[in-house]
Chains A and B, each alone.
Chain A
Amino acid sequence: MTDAPLLEIRDVSKTFGSVISLSGVSTTVHAGQVTCVLGDNGAGKSTLIKILSGVHQPDGGELLLDGKPVRLGSPREALDAGIATVYQDLAMVPLMAIWRNFFLGSEPTKGWGPFRRFDRATAIDTTRRELLEMGIDIRDPDQPVGTLSGGERQSVAIARAVHFGARLLILDEPTSALGVKQAGVVLRYIARARDRGLGVVFITHNPHHAYPVGDRFLLLNRGKSLGDFAKDELSLPDLTRMMAGGAELEQLAHELERDPS
């Protein structure tokens, strides 16, 4: 899939009142590849996610899905187009069993009329199978989601998005609240989703998480694009330096140095 990208973001901008939240941002996401969006707080990452997931509509520029311009009017329309967003808060209910969460809002049913009921056997089996497919090893789909670790929860959310027909997965800072080991677990599932042929948009402010898994890097700063690079155009030190604001960091390092007295 090297011809038409799964999703192309072309010169997208968004303003809220007098605040320019995003201006002239472009990048592409291919199927089976990971595009990382990096930026510090307030760089416009959240605005970009909300545009991609249909919460906001761009004021300028356009989104192209499979090479055709689309308008995502609502989160539902984005979902129907195969764009699934895994939010930081995960949209999971901690006290409910994993399989109940997995199918929440899209429960399979069997039976007819007043006897229409939740098809538990299918739900439990599917949950276990889908999680195994992602390489997620749960002991018992009946345990509450609250008993899972943060990384496992992210992974269940990713598996759920994949199961419900997502072609493009948007992950909003999935590793930011996690420890080193748990973040590694999530990165592994991102790679797994990529290998299954999904396009992934991975939002993060950690270049060390982004670089190993990413194929393409969009850097944002104060609503503007600092550049959109393929992996071979950029090294990890370059990425880190650009993320930290380059010259600004050198200035800071200078300030923090002890005076040689």
Chain B
Amino acid sequence: MTTGVTTAGPDERVARAGLAKRLLLKPELGALLGAILVFVFFATLSDVFRSASGVANWLDPASTLGIMAVAVALLMIGGHFDLSAGVQTGTAAITSGLLTTYYGVNTWAALAISLALCLAIGFVNGYLVVRTGLPSFIITLGTFLMLQGLNLGITKLVTNTVQINNFDKIIGYDVLRAIFASEITIAGADFQIAILWWVVATILGSWLLLRTRFGNWIFATGGDPNAGRNVGVPVARTTISLFMITSFAAWFVGTTQIVRLTSIQAQAGFGQELIYIVAAVIGGCLLTGGFGSAVGASVGALIFGMTSQGIVYAGWDADWFKFFLGAMLLLAVLANQYIRRFAEQSRR
């Protein structure tokens, strides 16, 4: 044990701390192992599952979920939940749909308005959480219910139905389709472009979290906001930004949905908020904040996609999916708990 070692290069004692221990500290490790297991499981059960068209098929639900899961994971690492994230996708699509098809607003202006609306909702969520100090769970439960009511109420009021149609008749739809809902043919299978956006979101989210000052502030805000405040971390600004990032993701996914389907249901997105949280938790996010990864949340979404389609390919009743998802969640939470304890006690 010499104390005068040169500072350049890695410390030679690092290896002795144990590779296994270091790997266990990676939040996404459990999810990666789980994803490999799920893939192998369904790939042996079904040929279609591992064919190109099969892969395209299960990557599709994983992609839009994955974009949301990355944003929700950042928010969870920052110590908060957003139960209104699901209905916000509906709010975004309904706003764009109503403005264009019923009020003849210019397509781009309508999209900008719905984006501004979503960001405003995110801001209000964050501002209320920061100002009141109440749990984000209860604040966003409130906005969730309000938005759910508004989505239905306004859609019914304007259209007299619970659905907005004819989004493909608007000016500029071709451009929107190219951006949000085109398909790329690889190996004879059509892959949704959302898969590409999902990858971009994962890279961006991971970069933000691990390579920027803001990322450091996210960890501190979720890990110990008081400690963060004492050393000058703008905790309030970070929290509000995280809610707005989640809202931006909701706008993007909502727009993808209405462009792809050319119509939107008034209750779109309802119930999805819990799936986002499930994906983030499977990906290694702690419910208490301060720990997790964007890549992990993406892998969590991947597991969701593979399982939801794999069960169909395996010829089982789709009812089993929820059971499977619940079991995955429980396993992930237990594994996270164990990993965290292991990490914190390793040097006591």
Residues of A within 8 A of B (CB): 76, 87, 89-96, 100, 103-107, 109, 116-118, 120, 125, 128-129, 132, 135, 137, 139-140, 142-144, 146-149
Contacts and interface: CB of A to CB of B under 8 A. Distances in A.
B7 A129 contact: yes
B215 A118 contact: yes
Q: Which of B224, B290, B345 has the most CB of A within 10 A?
A: B224
A95 B290 contact: yes
B219 A118 contact: no
A144 B25 contact: yes
A261 B323 CA distance: 77
A9 B253 CA distance: 61
A107 B347 contact: no
Interface stretch (B48-56, B123-131, B228-236): B228-236
Range, interface on chain B: 35 or more
Given A96-B220, A146-B344, A139 B213 contact: no
5 contacts: A105-B217, A117-B207, A118-B216, A120-B211, A139-B14
Given A87-B230, A103-B216, A107-B213, 17 more contacts: A90-B227, A93-B219, A95-B223, A96-B216, A96-B219, A100-B219, A104-B227, A118-B212, A128-B11, A135-B3, A137-B3, A139-B11, A139-B14, A140-B11, A143-B17, A143-B346, A147-B348
A120 B22 CA distance: 18
B175 interface: no
Contact of B213 (A89, A91, A94, A118): A118
Majority secondary structure of chain A interface residues (helix, strand, loop or mixed): loop
A174 B344 CA distance: 21
B231 A104 contact: yes
B3 A139 contact: no
Contacts of A147: 343-348
Interface string B200-230: 0000000100011101110110011011101
A165 B340 CA distance: 34
Contacts of B5: 132
A92 B227 CA distance: 6
A116 B219 CA distance: 18
Interface string B276-310: 00000000001000110000000000000000000
A105 B224 CA distance: 13
A52 to B, nearest CB: 15
Q: Which 5 A-B pairs have the closest CB atoms?
A: A105-B232, A93-B223, A105-B231, A91-B230, A147-B347
Given A118-B211, A120-B211, A140-B11, A105 B343 contact: no
A154 to B, nearest CB: 14
Nearest to B230: A91
Given A118-B216, A139-B11, A147-B347, A94 B230 contact: no
Contacts of B3: 132, 135, 137
Nearest to A136: B3
Given A95-B291, A96-B220, A100-B219, A137 B231 contact: no
B344 A104 contact: no
Interface string B310-347: 00000000000000000000000000000010011111
B1 interface: yes
A130 B3 CA distance: 12
A231 B217 CA distance: 44
B212 A96 contact: no
A93 B7 contact: no
A109 B216 CA distance: 12
B219 A95 contact: yes
Nearest to A85: B230
Nearest to A147: B347
Given A118-B213, A120-B211, A106 B231 contact: yes
A140 B219 CA distance: 19
Contact of B290 (A87, A96, A137): A96
A129 B11 CA distance: 12
A137 B7 CA distance: 12
A116 B207 CA distance: 11
A47 B231 CA distance: 20
Nearest to B223: A93
Contacts of B11: 128, 139-140
